[in-house]
Amino acid sequence: MTHLPEDFDASVGPGSETRERRPTLRPTSRGKIIGSSGVLRAVLDTVDRVARSACTVLVTGESGTGKELIVSALHDASPRHAGPLVTVNCGAIPEQLLESELFGHARGAFTGAVAARQGRVAAAEGGTLFLDEIGELPLALQVKLLRLLQQREYSPVGDSRTLRCDIRVVAATNRDLEVEVTEGRFREDLYYRLNVIHVHLPPLRERVGDVELLAMHFFRVCADRCGRDDLTGVSPEALGAIKAHEWPGNVRALENAVEHAVLLAVGPELTVNDLPSRVRGVEGREDGRKLLRELPQAGIDLRATVEEYESRLIKQALDRTGWNKNRAAQLLGLNRTTLVEMIKRKRIAS
């Protein structure tokens, strides 16, 4: 990730009357945490207070809020900062391979295991093991993770040995684990073991004062990455549209939108017309959703607009429920099968 100077100019382009220089809130080994909001500072205060301990930390927040950056900040501030920070995405690895990925395996443990292999737990020795999307962990593996947390020991697949480890475990999820426990998908004892310290990352809609800072940061990073040294800034109208948007996809969605605009901009400024259609031309709020206030003079493609709005609501429902299709369908007043068909047809991905 391209880094900005420690202080950067957050003006909206040439001719701007107000030019502010605000410090980056926190550099980490995986990027920079940008913001000035009180809720974000409170999160980092908690990180600083618990960093020197070995306690397990659970980081929660909606998709795209930057949970991995908070985990990186926690690792960097800990006595383990010289050790590895090893990440396991529990939702991206097939269930039949996840145990081996975590704990390693002995030679001949299963078909294709032609040699012994250490897992991510061993790779994280002396450092931090980050279990991302912990809510996706299968119940059978939750028992073995509980043993790891309680006794700091584990056994590779197909190996009778018991190995000890010296690691700190940090987990993250966009699911409500209390609901998962109630519905029998997550072990209650494991939840309490993980939830020693709970750090909740607020969504971007609760950090409205940070939107401009983040937008300007991403503008400069993307312009540099894409070789757009011809772009001089962001127009006030474009910045206004960015600040008015709710950003259901949070910081990740904001970065994607700014990169989209940087790539398409004619210049010299990034204008509102360079922004994705879901961001430009929408004002006001109605039941927490953005709607067109009036029909534009040039007209619209009604079918495309309805399709886009429908897709946006489906994506919001999926993000809000941690991609639990049953609960997302309930939020949208649909049958689950209807929702699944719409996801496939629209090619909506997490």
**Alpha carbon distance 64, 58 (integer Å):** 16
Give yes or no for a contact between 44 and 50, defined as CB atoms under 8 angstroms apart: no
Q: For residue 114, what pLDDT is reported?
A: 67
Mean pLDDT of the chain: 83
| pLDDT per position as a tens digit, 154-179 | 888 888 888 999 999 999 999 899 99
Phi-psi domain of 31 (left: phi exceeds 0; alpha: psi -120 through 50; beta: other): left
Q: For residue 168, what pLDDT is reported?
A: 95
Q: For residue 184, what pLDDT is reported?
A: 93
Using the predicted structure, report yes or no on whether residue 9 has a pLDDT greater than 60: no
CB atoms within 10 A of CB 271: 18
CA distances from 124 to 80, 160, 198, 251, 266 (A): 10, 21, 22, 28, 46
What are the structural domains, with CATH classification, of the chain? 38-200 (3.40.50.300), 294-350 (1.10.10.60)
**Alpha carbon distance 143, 9 (integer Å):** 50
12: confidence class by pLDDT, cuts 50, 70, 90: very low
Predicted TM-score of the model (pTM)? 0.71
Q: For residue 152, what pLDDT is reported?
A: 92
Q: Cis omega (within 30 of 0) on the bond before 14?
A: no
Using the predicted structure, report yes or no on whether residue 206 has a pLDDT greater than 80: yes
